[in-house]
Amino acid sequence: MSQTKFHGTIINYIQKKSNFVNMIKTNSPKAWLLASRPQTLTGAAAPIIIALSAAYHVYGHLDWTAALLCLFFALLMQIDANFVNDYFDFAHGIDDEQRLGPKRACAQGWITPKAMLWGITIITIMACVVGLPLIAWGGWECIIVGVACVVFCFLYTTLFSRIAMGDILVLLFFGIIPIGYTYFFQSHHDSILHIPLGVWMLALAQGLVTDCLLLVNNFRDRDTDKRVGKITLVNIIGEKPSLFLYEICGILAAILAHYAIYVLSDYSMDWKCFVPYAFIIIHSRVAHSMHRINHGSRLNMVLGYTARSILIFSILVSLALIL
């Protein structure tokens, strides 16, 4: 392909994308679909996939009703978090013309603020309705966990993401809690404290992989965040340490997954234990792209690659567990 033809193709793509955005009607189904940010749902589904694979590895079967309830609850809470983030960032003036990240529904006028508040209310109620039956598998303590998920869904955007606590919440709500409790509902233990060490290692590994998504997001927005007074881990530790942290999170996740599979396999070290190390190759290539691009909206490509890597990690770990 000639350089002229290549540039023509790129221009046509941009024009088509621009036309697509301009065609979106306010509060239409297409607008709500974009507001839900489907590309982020892999981060919600991945820990459920890993937890169910670990349960199948240990018990040889799954309770599909509990499994589907966990999956739907996780997906609804992710959509809820996206709506909350969209609305409150717009309300606080963070989503302005200088935003580098993907377009937001309220800021673009796709969803009106009033409609978004109704959307948040409806999705929150739906998540509670889906999660409530899990009491049958985990007891009344599930209500406390469910309430915590809803509360921190709001507190993440309105408070914790602004005071460099977002990374900790990602480890908890995209690693420890979804994997721990999804496995718990499959295990029929009388306490979540009886869950094997290997499961907690998988939970931490998944949390680290998912946190890479937040690291890219905050790395891209580091200048904007400084301007609006938002404090993130990236701005605290600086550019080069953030790049190193991104890469080391993926490496540590692979190592943790290796030992988790080893522990869950009754301390048998076979080839399956080494499957997660394939993730390091993929992760390192994405980290190299992040380092090379460094600034600007092109980091959105790295964001997409990272979302894909989260799913790849869960698939690799799950295959190693169920084969």
In percent, the amount of the chain with pLDDT more than 90 equals 75
For 295, other C-beta atoms within 10 Å of its C-beta total 12
Provide the domain count of the chain: 1
Q: What is the pLDDT of residues 91-144, one digit of tens each?
A: 877 655 555 667 788 988 999 999 999 999 999 999 999 999 999 999 998 999
pLDDT for res 174: 95
Exposure string (b/e) for 103-135, b if CB count within 10 Å is 16 or more? Answer: ebbbbbebbeeebbeebbeebbebbbebbeebe
Higher pLDDT pick, 316 / 40: 316
Mean of pLDDT values over 163-174: 94
pLDDT for res 40: 87
Q: What is the pLDDT of residues 215-262, one digit of tens each?
A: 999 999 998 888 888 899 999 999 999 999 999 999 999 999 999 999
Q: Is residue 15 part of a domain?
A: no
Q: Is residue 69 part of a domain?
A: yes
Q: For the chain, how far is it from start to end, CA to CA, in angstroms?
A: 43
> Distance between alpha carbon 286 and the CA centroid of its chain, in Å?
16
Q: Is residue 12 part of a domain?
A: no
Distance CA 215, CA 254 (A): 18
- pLDDT at 7 > cutoff 70: no
pLDDT for res 10: 39
pLDDT for res 190: 75
Q: Is residue 188 part of a domain?
A: yes
pLDDT for res 1: 47
Three-state secondary structure call for residue 119: helix
Q: Is residue 179 part of a domain?
A: yes
| DSSP secondary structure letter of residue 265 | T
Q: Tell me, what CATH number does 136's domain have?
A: 1.10.600
Characterise 64 by phi-psi region: left (phi > 0), alpha (psi -120 to 50), beta (else).
Answer: alpha
For 80, the domain range is 29-322
Q: What is the pLDDT of residues 60-87, one digit of tens each?
A: 999 999 999 999 999 999 999 999 999 9
Confidence of residue 22 (pLDDT cuts 50, 70, 90): low
3-state secondary structure 224-256: HHHHHCCECHHHHHCHHHHHHHHHHHHHHHHHH
Q: What is the pLDDT of residues 31-58, one digit of tens each?
A: 999 999 998 898 899 999 999 999 999 9
pLDDT for res 96: 55
Among 91-100, 145-154, 260-269, the minimum mean pLDDT is found in 91-100
Question: Could you tell me the pTM of the whole model?
Answer: 0.88
Q: Is residue 18 part of a domain?
A: no
Q: Is residue 60 part of a domain?
A: yes
Q: Is residue 178 part of a domain?
A: yes
Mean of pLDDT values over 293-297: 90
pLDDT for res 135: 94
pLDDT for res 171: 96
